[in-house]
Amino acid sequence: MKYQFPENFWWGSAASGPQTEGVYEGDGKGQNIWDYWYEQEPTKFFHQVGPEKTSRFYEKYKEDIQLMKETGHNSFRTSIQWSRLFPEGAGEVNQKAVDFYNAVIDELIANDIEPFINLYHFDMPMALQEKGGWLNRETVEAYVVFAKTCFELFGDRVKKWFTHNEPVVPVEGGYLYQFHYPNVVDMKKAVQVGYHEVLASAKAIKVYHEMNQTGEIGIILNLTPSYPRDENNPEDVKAAAIADAIFNRSFLDSSVKGEFPQDLIELLRDIDHLPEIETGDLETIKENAVDLLGVNYYQPRRIKAKETTTKLAEGPMPDDYFDNYIMPGRKMNPYRGWEIYEKGIYDILTNLRENYGNIRCFISENGMGVEGEEDYINADGSIEDDYRIEFVKDHLAYVHQAIQEGSNVQGYHMWTCMDNWSWTNAYKNRYGFIAVDLEQEGKRTIKKSGRWFKEMTDQNGFNA
């Protein structure tokens, strides 16, 4: 069977500034929460590899963009590091950052690769974190200034903007489950952080539209479908709906519909955890929905009614309302510990078509992290990652089915272009189309999947 995709489909990959650029003497970048956390607790990071050892995009961007071209990209998403542009989070702009991002954007365009630019990818400037980060209302205003500055500096060439990548992750990681700085466990604070992220997004969208720029602006959400253990068991179905409200609809409804889910509001009211809201906020959120939605999909969430009595924390937690369920016979990525469930991508796109006005969207991340991959190099120096090709094909088959049924999905971006540093996991799991050899000054080698991606995107489709 031939899977043919629409004309002008966006093919490419996604990355982020803090995971690829690196830190260089004299680059003018300020400290962000990752730089600080690594300085304080290097043992929390896999093999003690910190954020300065990323894939060196800051110096190798020209080479990397040629490799993007060689692997069939017509678009590429990265982020502007807030702490690079504004070393203190506010105040003075770092001209070296402006020069760097201008050069990257121009180089992408010169190679017929459209830049998709995201504004916030988990990298809070430390100067703002010291005042509370997303807990502090002032951070929202500082973010809006950061966004407006980016639109002014780069908006003449960048026509695809995104306010946040996976805004639920700073909530989960920083304020619930302790895998991001500041490592707090406090659901009330988690709610306030999430609320301020939503508000910051809406305010940035408002500014963007007021500037009459000719592009579009959206948000990138990791949508993880919540499947009940037993669809005929009302308690399982209810538990899955709560998980969906907390982790998906919290940001999906507020970004696309401009309102928060009623069941989430009631749940938070019951435990006295509603956020502090100022007059006019809800109108701002309502009137500034996204133009475009990025969808990151990796794995499903399997849920059953609450059975365990163990508490994760003294105060309320999302897990008070459901238990995770391990489905027998599930297909796994053994390295990452994640279930591989290709139909989930179709279920998300169908949900967006049926319940969210069939908003224009694209798959902004999908990928397979493999540990030890760098040890499997063949004679010509490349990695035979047939499992990654199979993973992409199997997901794209479901994207294709969704398109046939009327989904307004515009493209597919893989995570990621070249192997990059990942938060506390460093280079444990490799995701790229292009291998990065840390022992040889970040030497790049296209993997088999990268060659395949070029052939596939040249034909705008593939044969099953």
pLDDT band at 142 (very low <50, low <70, confident <90, very high): very high
Tally of structural domains, the chain: 1
Give the Å distances, CA to CA, from 130 to 45, 55, 239: 21, 28, 36
Tracing tokens 């991001």 back to the chain, one arrives at 180
Mean pLDDT of 90-105: 98
pLDDT band at 251 (very low <50, low <70, confident <90, very high): very high
Q: What is the pLDDT of residue 438?
A: 86
Q: Is the pLDDT of residue 147 over 80?
A: yes
Contact predicate 65/111, CB 8 Å: yes
CATH number at residue 182: 3.20.20.80
Q: What is the pLDDT of residue 83?
A: 98
- Put simply, whether the predicted model's pTM sits higher than 0.85 gets the answer yes
Cis status of the peptide bond prior to 224, with omega within 30 of 0: no
Q: Is the pLDDT of residue 376 over 90?
A: no
Higher pLDDT residue, 149 or 310? 149
Q: Which domain holds residue 365?
A: 2-463
110-130 CB burial, b ≥16 within 10 A, e <16: eeebbbbbbbbbbbbbbbbbe
Contact predicate 267/242, CB 8 Å: yes
Angstrom distance (rounded) from CA 111 to CA 62? 10
For 15-50, give the DSSP string: --HHHHS---TTS-PPPBHHHHHHHH-GGGSGGG--
pLDDT band at 6 (very low <50, low <70, confident <90, very high): very high
Mean pLDDT of 189-208: 99
Q: Is the pLDDT of residue 203 over 80?
A: yes
Q: Is the pLDDT of residue 453 over 80?
A: yes
pLDDT band at 341 (very low <50, low <70, confident <90, very high): very high
Q: Phi then psi for 89, rounded to 5 degrees?
A: 85, -20
Catalytic residues: 365
